[in-house]
Structure 1
Amino acid sequence: MLKQAQSALRSRMDGALRPLGLTVPQYACLELLEPGPLSSAELARGVFVTAQSMNAVVKSLQERGLVARDDVAASGRRRPAELTAAGRALLAEADGSVRRIEAQMVEAIAGTDVDRLVDELAAIATHLPSAADD
């Protein structure tokens, strides 16, 4: 059932973000960058994609002027990305659509049941071993 819920959510988000020219991973990247700059590796972990995939996502957002990052790393290989003004504006627009979908998603669950569901999902995530533990 969790996979079916995730699939339905992803489908709705794809549909809502498409008119804005965004994919779900691109939206997630913009959302993670909202508080401040992050490296591609940090973004990849946050979006649950490979570093290579995230690099492509960041590059596409950079080409559209939605994120900025230095061409050359200040030290090492880390080149943090950060939102531009255009990226912040598009994120604000996309957030409205995504928040409406989230509200619809939990509409069928009564008030305190939402908190319980979140707690139970957190417990599941905490108790599942990582792939490295297998």
Structure 2
Amino acid sequence: MSKEDFLPLEITHMVRDNCLCMHLQRAARAMARHFDDALRPHGLTSGQFSLLMSLNRPDAPSIGSVARLLAMDRTTLTANIKPLERRGLVHVRPHPSDKRSRCLSLTDEGRRLLREAFPTWQSAHKSAEGLIGTSDAQRLRDNLVKMS
């Protein structure tokens, strides 16, 4: 390959310094690591905590509605549910009105673990928000909600 096959290095630097997508991805990975480290003593990742929290409601939601809430495709969500189901934290059952669809609910153990992990999440969230600044964190949340 010759030098002419590559874009100029200045373009690489411009994208590195300005690309919103790349900076959001980097920040998301760093934030996930922060919460993963905090939740590790509970045997959870940040993604698993979010998934369990999305099921913390009186009526069992469908896989499709949880996938939409978490902005995941159904296949990825199903793959993420399996280890939680094996651990006895989540129950998967047919939808009462549509046997082709499945509903998700927390088991007693899932609710217990979520209650136990919540104060840890609160502490991790408070420290993350402190790094960003409370008013900036709210503005960031508002803007991210607008994007999704």
TM-score per shorter chain, which class? 0.7 to 0.9
Instruction: Decide which of 99, 103, 106 is 2:122's aligned counterpart.
Output: 99
Query: Does 1:19 pair with 2:41?
Result: yes
Superposition TM-score, scaled by structure 1 size? 0.75
Q: TM-score, normalised by structure 2?
A: 0.69
Kindly report the root-mean-square deviation, in angstroms, between the aligned alpha carbons of the 2 structures. Answer: 2.3
| Distance of 1:110 and 1:24 partners within structure 2 | 21
Offset of residue 50 of structure 1: 2.2
- Structure 1, residues 73-98: CA drift from partner, whole Å, max 9, x if none? 43241121111111111112222222
Residues in 1 aligned to 2:115 and 2:124: alpha-carbon distance in whole angstroms: 15
1:25–1:47: 8 Å Cα contact kept in structure 2? no
Structure label with greater radius of gyration: 2
Structure 2 residue runs of 5 or longer lacking an equivalent are: 1-22
Query: For the residues of structure 2 that align with 1:25 and 1:84, how far apart are their CA atoms?
Result: 18
| 1:35-67 superposed Cα distances (whole Å, 9 cap, x missing partner) | 241122222222233211211222221221111
Alignment coverage as a number of residue pairs: 124
**What percentage of aligned pairs have identical amino acids?**
32
Looking at structure 2, the residues matched to 108 and 25 of structure 1 have their Cα atoms a distance apart, in angstroms, of: 21
Query: Any unmatched runs of 5+ in structure 1?
Result: 127-134
AA at the equivalent of 1:62: E
Alpha-carbon distance between aligned partners in 2 of 1:13 and 1:109, rounded to the nearest angstrom:
15
**Contact 2:62/2:95 (8 A) holds in 1:** no
CA spacing shift, 1:93–1:76, aligned 2, 3 Å: same
